[in-house]
Amino acid sequence: MLTAQWPALTLEKRMSLMSIPEGGRVPVVIDSDTYNEIDDQIAIAWAYLHPERIDLQAVYAAPFTNHFFGEGNSHTDVNDPATGMTLSFEEIHRVFEKLPACQALPEIFKGATRYLTGSDMPECSPAVADLISRARSATQTLQVLSIGAPTNIANALLLAPDIIEKIHLIWLGGNSHDWKDNQEFNLMQDIAASRVLFDSGVALTQVPCFGVANCMATSVPEMQFYFANTSRIGRYFAEIAPRCPWIGFASRKVIWDITTVGYVLDPGWYTCQYRPAPLINDNLNWSFDNRRHLIRVVKFIERDNLFKDLFRKIIDADKE
């Protein structure tokens, strides 16, 4: 198991790092497996379209593989994490090509070419190098939004344990701690990296998927109704909305990844609790030890508040 000598945060320091400022611009980086689905693109665009609140400094391409879902169950079958990362890197650029120039574009970096699981050492990709440098030079807490396998984040924590004192990680991953299982895409792609998030002591807000974020449901017809014939980015979302083959008749589409952006915009939309950081067992289920450090866990999200703001920002993107 890969480990490091991470600083031990005091409770006061941990709570300070996890506190989102009530006003002003907040420095943010996003780590995203952007090409895997259609929700990453929406989350990135929404963050960018809130320049009064979010100082989006960088976007990192995360690796992904989806071949285990079976052939034909995704719009593109990917069986190599480097391929998934490269596809995501290219998709991030496509998203920003369709967004208005309402603020300086964030820097975009390629991430890991392999998972931490099965590796004998962390990988210092351009994304990891930037995260380490950006965290160390930050004058206020850097909000790190992770909406994919946390490989890039874990590599940075292993290579530079000191950044724990400068960042707050908001991760969409794992299922609710009382869910029937923990077979969740972001967590299970890179189990070693996921364990680093909970074992390192980093200030962490976890947004569980099933049991919490699955309430963030819309549908292809709804997205096409609101986004078609609107902004350039809105038309793009209407175009790519149906490209995932599992979204069929009467099916919903969960826009999971916007939950991390929404938390920065307004934590009041969320109901949370503090819990000891769980352990990930070999069967991927959670175990609990009350002696471990605290993390924040989202329990409930005011879904409509996020979607009303999101839809309006996308619709009016070219007007701002």
Q: Please write the tens of the pLDDT for every residue from 55-110.
A: 999 999 999 998 665 565 567 789 999 999 999 999 999 999 999 987 889 999 99
Residues 6 or more apart whose CB falls under 8 angstroms from that of 70 comprise none
| pLDDT value of position 250 | 80
Helical spans, DSSP H, in 160-268: 185-189, 191-199, 220-227, 232-240, 258-265
Q: Please write the tens of the pLDDT for every residue from 209-264.
A: 999 999 999 999 999 999 999 999 999 999 998 887 667 778 888 999 999 999 99
| pLDDT value of position 103 | 81
* In the block, residue with structure tokens 């396998």: 149
* H or E segment to which residue 158 belongs: helix 151-159
Which token pair is 101?
């120039």
pLDDT at 146 over 90: yes
Average pLDDT in the chain = 94
| Beta-carbon count within 10 A of 139 CB | 7
pTM for this predicted structure: 0.96
